[in-house]
Structure 1
Amino acid sequence: MVIFTRELINWLEAHQLPCLVKESIGIECPGCGFQTAVFMLLRGEIVNSVKTYPGLIPLIVFLALAAGRIAGIKKISPGILKITGFVCLIIILISYLLKLITH
Structure 2
Amino acid sequence: MKGLFKTKPRTPVDIVRQTRECLVHLDLHSGSRSGDAKRDEKMTELSKNIRDMKSILYGNGESEPVTEACVQLTQEFFRENTLRLLIIHLPKLNLEVCNLTCFCL
Q: TM-score, normalised by structure 2?
A: 0.36
For the pair shown, the structure with the greater C-alpha radius of gyration is 1
Q: TM-score, normalised by structure 1?
A: 0.37
Higher relative contact order (CA 8 A, sep 6+): 2
